[in-house]
Amino acid sequence: MSVTYLDAIRAAQEKALQDDPAVFIYGQDVGKFGGAFKATKNLAEKFPGRVIDSPISEDAMVGLAVGAAMEGMRPVVEMQFADFSTVGLNQMLNHAATTFWRTGKPCPMVLRLPSGGTPGSGPFHSQSMEAIYAHYPGLVVMTPATVEDAYSMLLEAIAMPDPVVFCEHKLLYYHLKAKSLPAEAVPAFKAHVARPGRDVTCVAYSAMVHEALAAAEELAGEGYETEVVDLRTVKPLDTDTILASVARTGRLLAVGESWPWGGVSAEVVSRVASEGFELLDAPPRRLNAKDTPIPYHPNLWSAHRPTAVRIAEALREVLRY
C-alpha cells in the first residue's frame, strides 16, 4: 500500500467533510466528475450536497466562499489551476484577507491551488502564486512538499479561522508516495530540516525541496554536507528555523520555482541578511525560475525552472566563496 500526494489531499478533504458539517467543497468539475485532477473523487457521492460544482467564475467562487465563511461555514475552494486564481484575486486579497482586520470576525476558508510547472503545461497552467498571496496581510500561505504535509497541513488549513491559500504542487501529485497517511503532524507554521548538513543551508519549499535534496545528494559525493530546510508554510515564515540553520552552516541559498523579482526566496535572503548578518560566511544567494513566462516545450521548461543540477551549481558557488 502506498499513498500519493494527491491521495493525501483527497483523504484530508474526506476527513474534513466527515469531521465537520461546516466544511464543503466548491469548484469547477469537483462534483460527480471528481475534479480535473481527481482530488475530490467520490466525495460528492459520499457527502451529498457538500461537494458543489461551480460555474467558470473564479471571482464568484471566492466571493461565495467569503460569504459562506462569514456565515460560519468552512468552504474549501478548488481552483482548477493556480493560474486561474488571478481571476479571483480581488475577492481573496481585498475581501477574504481584510475581513478579520476590518470586522474582528474570522473568515475561515481554504483556496486550493494546483500549482507549479509540469512538462508541456505552458504559460497558463504552470504558475506558482504564493508570493502574490503572501504579500497581502490577512492570509496564510502553505506550500507542502511531502505526502504527509499535504495531508496534515490541509487538515490544519481547513480548521484555521483564517483564509488559507494552499499551494499544492502538481508535479508531486502522482509520483510522490508515502507508505501511509501520517498519524501525527508537525505544526503547519514550523519549517522542517529535511536533511541535516553542516556546510551550507538550502532553503526551499514545495517541489523545490525535492530538487534541493537531490542536489544535496550530489554535493555529498563531493564532500559537502547541505542542510535542506523545507519552509512548509511561507506565510507566516518560520525565520527562527532558517536562522538556526544558517547559524550552523554560515552559508545560504534560497530556492523558489517562482519568478525572480521579489517573492519568497527574496524574503528569506532579506531576513537572513538583516537579522543574521554575522552568521554568514558568504553572500546569501537566490535561485529562481527565469524572468519570462513559463515555457511549453520541455526543452525550454527544464531550463526555465531551478533543477537539482542548477541548485547544485549554485550551492557550489556559495561554498566556494
Partner 1 sequence: MATRTMDREVGKASLQAEQDPMERMSRAMLRARVLEDKLASLYRAGRIVGGVYLGRGQEGLSAAGGVALRKGDVLAPLIRDMAGRLGFGEPLVDAVRAYLGSKLGPMKGRDGNIHRGDLSRGILPMISHLGAMVSATAGVLLAKRMKKERGFVGLTSAGDGATSTGSFHEGLNVAAVEKLPLVVVVADNGYAYSTPNDRQFACTDLLDRAKGYGVEGHGVDGTDPEACWEVVGRAVQRAREGAGPQLVVGRLLRLCGHGEHDDGLYIDKKLKSSDRGRDCLEVMRDIMKSRGLEQDWDRWEKEAQEEVEDAVKKVAEEPLPDPFEEDWRATAMLGASEAVQKG
Instruction: Enumerate the active-site residues.
Output: 58, 125
Task: Read off φ and ψ for residue 294, nearest 5 degrees.
Answer: -80, 125
The grid coordinates of residue 33 equal 466528475
Q: Which 159-218 residues touch partner 1, going by CB under 8 A? A: 160-162, 187, 189
Q: Applying CB under 8 A, which part among 133-141, 165-173, 252-260, 298-306 lies near partner 1?
A: 133-141
Q: How many residues does the chain have?
A: 321
Site residue total, partner 1 (CB under 8 A):
53
The grid coordinates of residue 222 equal 563531493
Q: How far apart are CA 101 and CA 292, in angstroms?
A: 36
80 binds partner 1 (CB under 8 A): no
Q: How far apart are CA 227 and CA 200, in angstroms?
A: 6
Do 34 and 203 contact (CB within 8 A), yes or no? Answer: no
Residue in 43, 44, 92, 97 binding partner 1, rule: CB under 8 A: 97
270 binds partner 1 (CB under 8 A): no
Q: How far apart are CA 225 and CA 223, in angstroms?
A: 7
137 binds partner 1 (CB under 8 A): yes
Contact letters (x/-) for partner 1, 286-305, by CB under 8 A? Answer: --------------------
Nearer to partner 1, 103 or 180 (CB): 103
Q: Applying CB under 8 A, which part among 11-19, 27-35, 101-109, 243-251 lies near partner 1?
A: 101-109
Residue that is written with C-alpha cell 512548509 in the block: 232
| Distance of closest approach, residue 163 Cβ to partner 1, in angstroms | 9
238 binds partner 1 (CB under 8 A): yes
47 binds partner 1 (CB under 8 A): no
Q: How far apart are CA 310 and CA 131, in angstroms?
A: 22
Residue in 29, 59, 313, 317 binding partner 1, rule: CB under 8 A: 59
Q: Note if the bond before 236 is cis, omega within 30 degrees.
A: yes
Residue that is written with C-alpha cell 537566490 in the block: 286
Calculate ∠ Cα 209-211-214, nearest 5°.
Answer: 110
Q: Note the residues at the interface with partner 1 (CB under 8 A).
A: 24, 49-50, 54-55, 57-73, 75, 87, 90-91, 94-95, 97-107, 137-140, 160-162, 187, 189, 235-239
